[in-house]
Structure 1
Amino acid sequence: MTELEARRRMLALDGIRGIAVLLVLAHNFDVLGGPLSRVGTLLDRLMDGGWLGVQIFFVLSGFLITGILLDGRREAHYYRSFMVRRVLRIFPLYYAVLCATFVVVPLVTGHAVAGHEHQAWLWTYTSNWAEPFGREVPLFPHFWSLAIEEQFYLAWPFIVRVLSPRSLMRFCVGLAVAALLSRIALRAAGLGSAGPYMFTICRVDALALGAIAAILFRSPHVVAVLSARRGLFRGLTLGLILVTVLMSHGAPRTGLLMQTVGYSAFAVTFAALVLDAALSSHDEPDALGRVLRLAPLRSVGKYSYAMYVFHTPLHRLVGLPLLARITAGAIGPVLGLAYFTAATVATYVAAFLSFHFLEKHFLQMKRAFEPRTA
């Protein structure tokens, strides 16, 4: 792949990342309430469906991380290069936020934040195993997904290194089946919806299917076939999304059908969409490709990590108190959309500042750990 092709591919994937974080923000910034009109009810359902942005993030992580590891399997310092570069990307902002919350704030105010007794789960990236049992820090209920990704980063390099691409494909299929069966078992046992939503084994199918897409993308034959039948491929993908939404009655996050086969169905469709976006590096961009390459959307994708980290604390510490001052009654679609827009802009600004004052200085250090040919 030429440098230009790689750059085109990243432009499209940045756009997908931007869509994913906007969906998550729509879900968590949904403040609509009270008696709603038909328009308000429809908007509420659409925003509530934004939880699917997390599923897109998982698939995209599986695709990108597996691709990086496959391309660097024969490089010297394979493990060190990958681990250090991941640490430089993820840890600085994450632990800066935890330090500010659990160390600086108590020293300045004399009061610990709510849920501080459960902070150990956050420091160790294991909150996804604790939150279903009520061990939650209210400011960071969304960090469970970061915990799943970090656990994936720790284990996946060893698996990719020892398995051939064909064996890795089979292993990913096995993981996807195991995730589906684990969710069915938990729901059948009457253990609630939190575990199937947050436990790593229950959500690993999205990461595994993203990994399968990465393997397929590195097969010239598969790329040629899919590129020649792009319209059919995309039509089947969008059709499966529509069928999944209709069969699950709107894709409710914790519905029984959604938490069993629905999660898997969306993982398959999102893996296909990510693969479709990556394939656009081989062709002139069509309408979808041009949308994914829009500069504003790519900019949101660029800062999506910090936006994800900051959005819930800003919402709960700033947004909701300000909203309570404005209105004490029902919130309709106009005010709800206005709040979503304002909160999204504020989150973007915070992420922009975080990237340029903190994150990028660590990202520049990644150059010293570029993989080198053995």
Structure 2
Amino acid sequence: MRLDDERRIKGFDGLRAIAFIFVFISHKVGFDKGTYESLGGTGVLLFFALSGLLITRILTRTRMAVEAGETTMLEGLARFYLRRTARILPIYYTTIGIFLIASLFVHFNGFEGGAPLAMLLYATNVYVFTTGHWVGHFGHFWTLAIEEQFYLLFAPLLLFAPSKAAGSICATFVVLGLVTLVGLQLAGASVLAIDLNSVTGFGYLALGGLAGLNLHWQAPRWLISTPAQTAVVLTLLIAPLIVLSDQSVWRTYAPAVAATAVLLVFQVARNQATRFVALLETWSLRGLGRISYGCYIFHEFVHFYDIEAVSQKLGIVFETPDWISVPIEFAITVGLATVSWRFFERPIMAWAHRATQKVAPAAA
């Protein structure tokens, strides 16, 4: 048995691609009017469902290896954090470092005062809802902050508690998240406090964890079939655009959206042989999902109007239709993320994998 056997689940990269597309549309199309804001929120919840499921399974598997005497809790924790660090921190801190240097010469809206320090500490969400100041095009860092905070708290809990307690730990996070959300809404808290609070975010991630712990459940065939998977993903697409387009309505039903996203992730993980999974495994979706982390970090910093401004300074003036800006920004974002993945992220992840690789004794 390999302690670090983290086999790829088919379709998950495709789901990451869909989640990023949702977020990209919300930030690039009609953003000033909040036209697709609910779609972006749905994309974030789909990211949370995927992360929660995978992280919980990794930690639970490690805890079971501890109980089998194949590793120690400290070794397992160090291994988990090294791999997470290699995956998340390099590109994130490199991006912030570039802006820190550039900010010595150019002012960036939202990148002033205590905001850069909050970003460095993965506390963007805390900074925003405590100060009430949005951080411009760095605003999407709030989701990364919640995920990192979750890892720091959740990993020790799962690794130091018995493996059989994992479900109870996840359920506790889910309940605390719902209670916090309802409490803030009843108390008339600000929109930022409701949307960006960490406890509710932890609940959404732990909900994905519950799904990951129950992948052995023999679900009815109809529930994990191609039509069912297709119906759920269409619900995640259509509901935010029509039924939940109003943000106040979306906030009320966000837990239901999160549960729907978790259902989709569960369906894909449980039935890998459907036509829907085959669609998710096409090279375009699979490839986009693989670089989706870089795409997510970069996309808010890529703007067509900046390209036009630079061109004008170089004496190049061109006329383009209004619709062209979004596909160009998408192409540049994907290009940057592809380069980052190939020459920066993947080599670091490969090193971390080699550094933490361990073969456990074969089971008797």
Identify the TM-score tier after normalising by the shorter chain: 0.7 to 0.9
For the Cα contact (< 8 Å) 1:310–1:351, is it kept in 2? yes
Q: CA deviation at 1:317?
A: 7.0
What number of residue pairs does the alignment pair up? 343
Letter in structure 1 aligned against 2:271: S
- Name which of 111, 116, 119 aligns with 1:119: 116
Between 290-299 and 200-209, the greater mean CA deviation after superposition = 200-209
Alignment of 1:252 with 2:251, yes or no, is no
Alignment of 1:163 with 2:156, yes or no, is no
Cα 1:264–1:65 shift into 2, 3 Å: same
Cα 1:191–1:213 shift into 2, 3 Å: same
Alignment of 1:364 with 2:350, yes or no, is yes
Letter in structure 1 aligned against 2:355: A
Alignment-derived partner of residue 64 in structure 1: 54
Q: CA deviation at 1:155?
A: 1.3
Q: Scaled by the length of structure 1, what TM-score is found?
A: 0.80
Alignment-derived partner of residue 68 in structure 2: none
Alignment-derived partner of residue 258 in structure 2: 267
Matches within 5 A, 1:9-158: 10-31=9-30, 45=35, 49-73=39-63, 74=65, 75-76=71-72, 77-102=75-100, 104-107=101-104, 109=105, 111-114=106-109, 115-117=111-113, 118-132=115-129, 133-158=131-156
Aligned equivalents of 1:140, 1:55: Cα separation in 2? 19
Letter in structure 2 aligned against 1:100: I
For the Cα contact (< 8 Å) 2:77–2:159, is it kept in 1? no
Aligned equivalents of 1:289, 1:105: Cα separation in 2? 43
- Name which of 288, 313, 325 aligns with 2:276: 288
Letter in structure 2 aligned against 1:350: L
Q: Which sections of structure 1, spanning at least 5 residues, go unmatched?
A: 35-43, 329-333
Q: CA deviation at 1:229?
A: 4.2
Q: Which sections of structure 2, spanning at least 5 residues, go unmatched?
A: 66-70
Q: CA deviation at 1:184?
A: 1.8
Alignment-derived partner of residue 295 in structure 2: 307
Letter in structure 2 aligned against 1:68: I
For the Cα contact (< 8 Å) 1:213–1:271, is it kept in 2? yes
Alignment of 1:204 with 2:197, yes or no, is no
Q: Scaled by the length of structure 2, what TM-score is found?
A: 0.82
For the Cα contact (< 8 Å) 1:21–1:304, is it kept in 2? yes
Q: Percent identity?
A: 25
Q: CA deviation at 1:272?
A: 1.2
SS at match of 2:94: helix
Aligned equivalents of 2:236, 2:281: Cα separation in 1? 27
Aligned equivalents of 2:268, 2:240: Cα separation in 1? 26
Matches within 5 A, 1:162-201: 162-201=160-199
1:194-224 CA distance string (max 9 Å, x none) = 111111112222201110011001x3xx1xx
Aligned equivalents of 2:307, 2:174: Cα separation in 1? 38
Aligned equivalents of 2:237, 2:285: Cα separation in 1? 26
Q: CA deviation at 1:254?
A: 3.2
Letter in structure 1 aligned against 2:108: V
Aligned equivalents of 1:47, 1:210: Cα separation in 2? 22
SS at match of 1:10: coil
SS at match of 1:72: helix
Matches within 5 A, 1:337-352: 338-352=324-338
Bigger proportion of residues as helix: 1
Aligned equivalents of 1:20, 1:243: Cα separation in 2? 10
